[in-house]
Structure 1
């Protein structure tokens, strides 16, 4: 009886959300800015103090160029040589293919979810960083499957702040890893439905509830 009254008092107002298909199946790219992108860019903006020196990203260098401070050089890591912009051909999970102590700041956004052996990739990241270098990393927590990635190389993992922090501490050391989260129940529902960031207020987007982790961010320093 108590559960009945709870449902009666707190009736959900479904409107057009009572559907087995989302409003957008492409992360809201057809409606505006995906919510996870807002979180990723907020994290990078908040940590641009270390985006300097020799910078590296996977596949492209758009974030490096957008957030770099001072004079910087740019590297692009790619798995194969079919990317004409790549300056390093290598595999994060294979140290033999990677340069050592070369990168001052590695921006690794939304990548570890798609690497099956992600712990070896963390070792590769550490290997490439120079002494005192920093890795700025984001991973998905709450998210739909990325069908594009699943059909090409695989979509393997969803993380929590605890799981990704423990994995990085194993390589970087406990005092060298800082983790934060973005998301709440409203922004999580909106993200899964494919509702764009423009359709939520700033307060709705940035209210933080650690039980609803859309994006987990991590700053790791190599000593």
Structure 2
């Protein structure tokens, strides 16, 4: 029987880091399962999908990037939020991690307090997406309860962050949101995320919305931000 607590899969090959994070995550009231390599992580997700995955980039057998790519390519696991941990601090590495499908990216060494805040935000956003009625904009329908987006009678595949971005934009269609406002609403006010992260996820959202041939509904306002319509 599955626990009523939110479940986190921690994929980290460094024992000291694994034990430190496990202790702090459990202190937050979360159920924690651990994997020491990418292959074990994929097997564990297939058996019992977690509510969130904390995934180290550099691991034996299978890298975190490849684990992320495989999970995000499968319908049954694509909606699981993934926070990527990496010692790589270059902007291109962060973009690569996000392009692979990660929902957040944290550079080592990191503050455990900040990581926990990011975990809470991902779990809160995932849960809050089930509390609203369906919304519509032109030929796009977003159903928060079922976590579904349909455009022109075609169901679209969106990651958790792209889903929350679209939800935010649809709540106030026509309004221009700055990158900072989108960061606060989608990632949370207590978390530092580079504003360029917004651009990466907007790009992914645009691609998903246009995958069936529709026009781009997202308007870029130079120097200001983004709006729907």
TM-score bracket relative to the smaller structure: 0.3 to 0.5
**TM-score normalised over the length of structure 1:** 0.32
Pick the structure with greater CA Rg: 1
Between the two structures, name the one with larger relative contact order (CA 8 Å, sep ≥ 6): 1
